[in-house]
């Protein structure tokens, strides 16, 4: 075994479903300037207002999907870590969370103390966004800089269009799509439009179509919405899905800002009113099931769909620790370029 470690990083989770733990987690998450990109005083005021009622609401939601082993996101990420240990033969495989525990700082510090000098940093996000990919990379760089660690990174790039990822997605979803259903909805996590326009001024979302149609690669490289649409289209093509059998939406809005559309809630209502009785929902922005998939879609989405006239909503599990995904992730991480 060499000293080239693999560090998997996912979003994170509260330590428990207690309101105090949820409040602490939400405070860390929402105070990240890559998540709420407002000046610190404004961000602090806004988050303080959110934290008046939101922790209790979120604690109830977490409790409804919490497993005996703990947070589904953390448990499933641990299982992926174990699966990757058999795949990654160059060194140890570690897991960190951007928010909550185990923190990126604690894991990197421990690895450096063990003499590890080369780390492939793997943010587990298929599509690029500052609020996911950039904040993980910048936090890792901060730790190395402030702790003066002798660590060199290779960094897994967004893999939304990589064949290995898409093939794993198809393999994991195929058993669900081979059953009878009326429509497949690919629901991605949402983002405020300003996050995308900040990276590409002049970017337009009018009309609701592909915002990156005909755009140069450098624009697509930082357009989360465009990357989501490409993931969905490539998946549908691999599965042989006809037009009209599938569509794309965006979930998990927070606050009053304009978020990228179409919204998942509106799409579920529309599908039900169009006569769709059985809808399958995939969430390809997530590689592990979490509160956004299990509770927001699996519970609230189902309830909403039925209230609108639908009958059955089937949540297709995320990649989690699927063997195809572990093999794909190994290949993707081996290609990760050295960070300059």
Annotated binding site for Fe(2+): 189, 292
Please give the annotated binding residues, written as ranges: 189, 292
Q: Is the peptide bond before 262 cis (omega within 30 degrees of 0)?
A: yes
| C-alpha pair distances (Å), 11 with each of 153, 178, 227, 285, 291 | 19, 31, 19, 12, 11
d(CA 43, CA 95): 29
d(CA 309, CA 188): 23
Q: Nearest to residue 194, comparing CAs of 224, 215, 230?
A: 224
d(CA 130, CA 196): 9
Evaluate whether 238 touches 166 at the Cβ level (below 8 Å). yes
d(CA 132, CA 11): 8
């Amino acid at each position: 075994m060499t000293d080239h470690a693999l560090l998997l990083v996912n979003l994170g989770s509260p330590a428990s479903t207690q309101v105090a733990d949820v409040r602490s987690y939400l405070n860390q998450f929402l105070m990240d300037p890559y998540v709420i990109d407002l000046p610190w005083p404004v961000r602090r005021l806004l988050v303080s207002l959110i934290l008046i009622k939101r922790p209790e609401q979120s604690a109830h939601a977490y409790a409804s999907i919490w497993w005996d082993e703990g947070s589904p996101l953390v448990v499933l990420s641990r299982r992926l870590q174990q699966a990757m240990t058999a795949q990654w033969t160059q060194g140890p495989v570690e897991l960190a969370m951007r928010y909550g525990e185990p923190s990126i700082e604690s894991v990197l510090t421990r690895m450096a103390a063990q003499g590890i000098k080369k780390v492939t940093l793997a943010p587990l996000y298929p599509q690029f966004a500052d609020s996911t990919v950039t904040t993980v990379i910048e936090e890792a760089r901060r730790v190395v800089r402030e702790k003066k660690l002798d660590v060199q990174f290779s960094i897994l790039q967004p893999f939304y269009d990589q064949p290995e990822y898409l093939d794993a997605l198809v393999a994991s979803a195929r058993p669900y799509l081979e059953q009878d259903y009326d429509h497949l909805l690919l629901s991605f996590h949402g983002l405020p439009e300003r996050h995308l326009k900040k990276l590409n001024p002049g970017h337009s979302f009018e009309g609701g179509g592909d915002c990156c149609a005909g755009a140069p690669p450098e624009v697509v490289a930082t357009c989360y919405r465009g990357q989501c649409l490409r993931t969905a289209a490539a998946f549908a093509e691999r599965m042989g899905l006809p037009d009209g059998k599938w569509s794309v939406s965006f979930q998990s809005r927070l606050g009053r800002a304009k978020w990228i559309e179409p919204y998942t809630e509106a799409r579920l209502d529309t599908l039900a009113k169009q006569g769709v009785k059985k809808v399958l929902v995939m969430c390809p922005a997530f590689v592990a099931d979490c509160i956004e998939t299990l509770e927001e879609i699996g519970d609230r989405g189902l309830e909403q769909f039925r209230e609108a006239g639908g009958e059955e909503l089937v949540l297709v599990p995320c990649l989690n620790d699927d063997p195809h995904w572990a093999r794909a992730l190994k290949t993707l991480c081996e290609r990760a370029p050295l960070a300059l």
